[in-house]
A = this chain, B = another copy of it.
Amino acid sequence: MTGNGPVRTGRARAADDPVRAPARIPVARLVEPRSVAVIGASDDLGKFGGRVVHYLAKFGFPGAVLPINPRGGTVQGLPAYPSVADLPDGADVAVLAVPAERLEAQVRACADAGIGACIVITGKLGEAGPEGAAIEARLAGIARATGMRLLGPNCLGIVNATGRAALSSTLALEGPVLRPGGIGLISQSGALMGTLLSLGLDYGAGFSRCISVGNQADLELCDFLDHLIEDAATRVIALYVEGLRDPPRFRALLARARAAGKPVLVVKAGRSEAGARAARSHTASLAGSYAAFEAVCRAGGAATMEDPATMILAADALDRLPRLAAPGLGVAVMASSGGAVVTAADQLPGIGARLARMGDATRAALAALMPDDHVHLPLDTGSFHGGTSEAGIRAALAAFMADPDVGAILYPMTTMPRMADHAARLPAISREGGKPILYAMTAGRVGDAARAAMLERAFPWFDRVGDALAALRAMEAVAARPAARPERPPGAGPAVPARLRPGPLTEAETKRLVAAYGIPVTRQALARTPEEAAAAADAIGYPAVLKGVSRAVAHKSDLGLVRLGLGDAAAVRAAAAEILRTLERVAPGAAEGVLVQETGRGEVELILGVVHDPGFGPMVLAGAGGTLVEVTRDTGLAPAPIGPEEAEALLRRLAVWPVLQGVRGRPPADVAAAAEALSRLSWLAHDLGDRLAELDINPLVVRARGGGVLALDGRATLRDGAEEPP
């Protein structure tokens, strides 16, 4: 036990002024306590409270461990106290692993004893049903009223590996080692936290802190994300997220982590429909839209990943390997097996990576080692004259380290003589060369000597090529340059909208809105009668387009309310009459007229849109346009506002991108104009905020380069209070 007394901010403040919310202790105090009371402490290591005491001792907690047990006596050789009230110096933190029905009294006792923080391991609370939720709410109320901070309930606590404070019951601590290092892990699942900790330790990974946030009755994921960004020991952050309490705060924290040079990797539950439903019910968190989450992570430079195990290996790679010098570089795949390198290279396109294009110097260096027709990537070092050799591997790696197009080296080793000797050379070469070597030992236990060589040299390895590739993908994602802060393009608002009715806007209203932000729209006029339509078409020009207008009709083309290519006034007159009759039939009394438009032609049709994510706010969307947009689902999303550069990057990710570049003799499309339109739309989305429920421009035709874009159709829905630009 140390002589440092706990800080009693909680009780003192609450007593001074029970009405005003008391100041709260910093999160760092929970993570780095000087003394820990364990309520429910036991000699039985099968119990949560038994394991917490055991692990604190096992990993050499430098502070005081204070078992609380009504019977007093000793617990695991330590003097036990009947209650927290009996602690002579209080405690910085209490860990509670007591049945749910006794929790409230114990937490209150901690508050009364001036313990500023509780880690509540007990489960079957909010996640289990209304009874548990009521208890949980009362715990949160105690915390609010007293200034106490509360982690959990339904969590596995905190493992502070650099501070040797294992405030956790996770069975991951059954292993012999708790290696300190740079990975900070926060998990909304305690079991996953333990699993990832134990897995990472096997691979030589080191951790700063692992935090299981449980039901987040008080402290939540972002509180700890904030802590890890500030924490000097943490170099890489790995998150398992089910839902966010405060999405804007999360977004701001991603930006701070990036500024601090700390990569963030995230597995988010609910990528699939079924997963999203299950995640909602698991910890009663709002799962939100995965697409919006992913867009926010991308914008913030965080890497979204699919599998938690793969994430922790990727985090380790980012912690212990040199990082990529820049995004978009090539990969040099090499090893002593043609089969291994070819099958690894075949998997590169699946993660959006490519083989490096070797420079002349690299080719020359390799040509000195092997027959000319074997000088290519992937590189089979078995083709060296005389076979794989130390000197050959060194020379090839030296060439890759110097080649500007090589971002990383992927080395999938198979069974071969002297595996460990060959592996043992790689760490120094990687570190000195400043480029990551992703070493995959793909054989079974016959490769263990090679793994041991890596462990000894504190160098990460993989057992599967797929894990190495997932790590590479994450390294690539976090290497992306931050976009410049977008600047409002000239003439893109902020317009003070004149009052518009809430609800769906007509096409004409939608176009006036986007035109106010400088997005080109078709010349057009609203006609009430066939005669007016013909006159309008005469003024606008032929061939003309006619569309029936009614707020009550969303999908005009499905009802025959769109007529294209009308060549003269007679055709316009006839079509207008027919449209007005149809409108009267399908939406009686809601016909507003016939919109007469110029015909817009271009190389490619896009959809641009605005969606309002309940968590992250306004997002812009772009994708392949036309009537089948729901089927192709070729769309991308970005949080608004964005500049033209980010907008173009979004277009570049679409499947339709090659079409925009020009295919089969078609001219390249005016990508710059499309990107500018998307940027302008993002400012509109930004300015209108949650007043704009949604907006689509579909299609936006993109003409040949230099020809600009033209919004042919659009619709939008406003919420109450929305206004139209003047």
Contact = CB atoms under 8 A, between A and B. Distances in A.
Interface of A: 46, 123-124, 127-129, 170-172, 174-175, 187-192, 194-195, 198-203, 240, 242, 267, 269-272, 274-275, 277-279, 281-283, 306-310, 336-343, 345-350, 354-355, 371, 373-374, 376-378, 380, 382-383, 387, 414-417, 419, 442-447, 463-467, 555, 558, 565, 627-628, 630-632, 655-656, 658-659, 663-666
A316 to B, nearest CB: 12
Contacts of A170: 415
How many copies altogether? Answer: 2
Contact of A444 (B198, B274, B445, B659): B198
A638 B79 CA distance: 76
B339 A444 contact: no
A339 B189 contact: yes
A296 to B, nearest CB: 18
A194 to B, nearest CB: 4
A389 to B, nearest CB: 13
A666 B628 CA distance: 11
Given A242-B339, A339-B269, A464 B274 contact: no
Count chain B CB atoms within 10 A of each CB in A171, A195, A310, A340 and give the residue with the most: A195
A46 B279 CA distance: 55
A362 to B, nearest CB: 16
A91 to B, nearest CB: 27
Contacts of A664: 555, 558, 627, 630
Contact of A555 (B201, B338, B354, B665): B665
Contact of A339 (B282, B310, B343): B282
A445 B348 CA distance: 30
Nearest to A171: B415
Given A338-B189, A371-B128, A464-B307, A446 B628 contact: no
B339 A194 contact: no
A201 to B, nearest CB: 6
11 contacts: A175-B446, A192-B343, A195-B337, A195-B442, A198-B447, A242-B338, A267-B343, A274-B346, A555-B665, A558-B664, A565-B565
Given A283-B338, A627-B664, A278 B378 contact: yes
Contacts of A630: 663-664
Given A199-B442, A272-B348, A274-B377, A171 B417 contact: yes
A195 B631 contact: no
Contacts of A380: 278, 282
A116 B240 CA distance: 61
Count chain B CB atoms within 10 A of each CB in A188, A340, A345, A377 and give the residue with the most: A345
Nearest to A48: B417
Contacts of A444: 172, 175, 195, 198-203
Given A307-B347, A558-B665, A627-B664, 5 more contacts: A191-B337, A272-B349, A274-B355, A282-B338, A310-B466
A441 to B, nearest CB: 9
A342 B275 contact: yes
A480 to B, nearest CB: 23
User: Which 7 pairs from chain A and chain B are nearest by CB?
Assistant: A189-B339, A191-B337, A282-B338, A194-B415, A198-B444, A202-B444, A191-B414
A465 B337 CA distance: 27
Contacts of A201: 444
A28 to B, nearest CB: 26
Contact of A198 (B307, B415, B663): B415
B171 A346 contact: no
A349 B271 CA distance: 10
A691 to B, nearest CB: 28
Contacts of A277: 376
Contacts of A378: 274-275, 278
B198 A342 contact: no
A314 to B, nearest CB: 13
Contact of A465 (B309, B340, B663): B309
Given A199-B443, A658-B631, A192 B123 contact: no
A684 B279 CA distance: 52
Given A349-B272, A387-B124, A665-B558, A339 B308 contact: yes
A342 B445 contact: no
B658 A339 contact: no
Contact of A374 (B274, B281, B308): B281
